[in-house]
Amino acid sequence: MEITNNWILPALILIPFIAGLLCWVVDKIDQHLPRYIALFGMLITLGLTVLVGTQESYQYEVGQVLPEWGAQFLVNWIPSLGISIHLALDGLSLLMVGLTALLGVLAVGCSWGEIQKNVGFFHLNLLWSLGGVIGVFIALDMFLFFFFWEMMLVPIYFLIALWGHKGSENKSRVYAATKFFIYTQVAGLIMLIGILGLVIYSYTLTNGVISFNYYSLMAAAHVMEGVSPKLAYILMICMFIGFAVKLPVFPLHGWLPDAHAQAPTAGSVDLAGILIKTAAYGLLRFVLPFFPESSAQFADIAIIFGLIGIFYGAWCAFQQTDMKRLLAYTSISHMGFVLLALYAGTLMSFQGLMIMMLAHGISSAALFIMCGQVYERLHTRDMRLMGGIRGQLPYLAFFLMFFIAALVGIPGLGNFIGEFLILLGSFNAYPVYTILAAVSLVFAGLYGLILIHRALFGTPNPAQQANNPLRDLAGREVALLLICAVSLLWLGLYPQSFLDISQSSMDWIVHSDTSLKPVIQPVIDQILQQMASQQHVEMK
């Protein structure tokens, strides 16, 4: 297969890294320069994503054995270990990279006035985490994928530990950062066991050829499912756990509320809008195509965990008084829908998942940006100390109600389209689970109304009087929120423009088992014959 290297793909990763390094270098010259460099770097990344999206085709022929990539980049890295720098972009990864670049621009914008110390080092960590996430979305070589998966954790650790909330929570931010790092690091090592297991099995199949190539490991995984289904199931579980912690799936969610509560606004935008989407992407790109039969056996268990997470997250959100922690638990609740969509395994549920990831990323990022705006004005996130904002800050009140409406799935906005397609696509396969998931939407409306009521209505708390008159949203803040609002309206009113981009990728994932089976089955039959003849000789 001849590959024409598209140099835009490595540029998508390198530009955030280079811009972040420049931010750190120029910080001593002028404290404002890093902000402009970071913003310019992320705007270039977003522009290149749009460019490569319009240059290439992201369609494939029905029945094609291997996925068709719109753009690829391939150079050898460590040939003796079968490791290469193999980057590829299809409709799924294109939309995820676009979301990352857009939210990267918003993250830089929302930290403009919030971050006042070590501005250059802050933007170094922010942009390097974004560069690592883009690497995760476009890396095909499994070693390279794991490299970016682990690398993006370190900058986020520093974002939380160094720029988390001050005051009495000074100690808590280091605790939250350490908890996040330990959870995700341990999960990553478990996922590495699954990857290395596949590499070793591929090594035995190919008579001593080491490879981390996507196609080689996919073929090895399919052969393993035919020859050693128990081993395949174990390796699938290892990879699932690695992604489940990051998603996060109940009961592996313990790091998320603390990380969100302590992170700076840009860190929360990164965590909620982008980072947890890497887990859903990993399940779509690797676990389901590699282990279709094992995933089908595991589907009921995964969906049950997802349903528990939906109700648990909603109930915990209902109990919160901290605005940020409430939003953190809503993310846990919404990610339960991700598992339902993934393991329903239909094209419609996958397409709904695609819209939901985009819409949830934008709406949750907007709400965390608004948390920062509220905190800047009231100096608290405790909803018991709020009240009466609607009369004092009309622009802030309007946007807060808009994005909460989006989060709870009001028709006309992107979240509704995603949830509706997921429920519709899952009903035939899992009618009971789907009905239970639909019932949970009532709880989403409940915690949304509680947040609106406590923050916007009633009378101002006496503690707020010292801050009167409160300042409404500035032009920069309104611009950031308008970008999010227009994006959600576009997703809600014209989702077909995004569904067309991702359809071929999702369709291939749905049919990857049947398209690969004619190619893999002769290999499985040959290995089974060899095993049978070997057992026959041993018995003699």
Cis, peptide link before residue 251, omega less than 30° from 0: yes
Would you state the pLDDT for residue 198? 92
Which pLDDT band, with edges at 50, 70 and 90, does 531 fall under? low
Give the residue among 64, 54, 77 at the shortest CA–CA distance from 6.
54
Q: Could you report how far apart the first and last alpha carbons of the chain are, in Å?
A: 46
Cis, peptide link before residue 518, omega less than 30° from 0: no
Q: Minimum mean pLDDT among 160-164, 278-282, 462-466: which range?
A: 462-466
The identity of residue 331, as a single letter, is S
Mean pLDDT of 189-196: 93
pLDDT (tens digit, 9 = 90+) per residue, 92-101? Answer: 899 999 999 9
Which pLDDT band, with edges at 50, 70 and 90, does 474 fall under? confident
Would you state the pLDDT for residue 3? 62
Mean pLDDT of 135-159: 91
Q: Minimum mean pLDDT among 192-196, 239-243, 474-478: which range?
A: 474-478
- Write the DSSP symbol of residue 69: P
Would you state the pLDDT for residue 172? 79
SS3 (DSSP) at 458: coil
**pTM for the predicted model, two decimal places:** 0.91
Asked if pLDDT for residue 207 goes beyond 80, the answer is no
Q: Minimum mean pLDDT among 183-187, 295-299, 473-477: which range?
A: 473-477
Average pLDDT, the chain: 84
CA–CA gap between residue 264 and residue 274 (Å, rounded): 15
Contact 35, 123 (CB under 8 A): yes
Mean pLDDT of 163-188: 77
Mean pLDDT of 330-355: 89
Would you state the pLDDT for residue 414? 87
Asked if pLDDT for residue 523 goes beyond 90, the answer is no
SS3 (DSSP) at 176: helix
Which pLDDT band, with edges at 50, 70 and 90, does 170 fall under? very low
Residue 176's Cβ-count burial label (10 Å; 0-12, 13-18, 19+) is: buried
Which whole-number Å values give the CA distances from 319 to 73, 101, 314, 322, 361, in the listed order? 49, 34, 9, 9, 23
Asked if pLDDT for residue 167 goes beyond 50, the answer is no
Give the residue among 188, 211, 238, 239 at the shortest CA–CA distance from 86.
211
Tokens 């939003």 sit at which residue? 327
Contact 129, 121 (CB under 8 A): no
% the chain with pLDDT above 70 = 88
Contact 108, 33 (CB under 8 A): no
Asked if pLDDT for residue 357 goes beyond 60, the answer is yes
DSSP letters spanning 187-232: HHHHHHHHHHHHHHHHHHHTTS-----HHHHHHHHHHHHHH-HHHH
Asked if pLDDT for residue 539 goes beyond 60, the answer is no
Would you state the pLDDT for residue 215? 85
Q: Is pLDDT larger for residue 51 or for residue 460? A: 51
Cis, peptide link before residue 155, omega less than 30° from 0: no
CA–CA gap between residue 339 and residue 284 (Å, rounded): 10
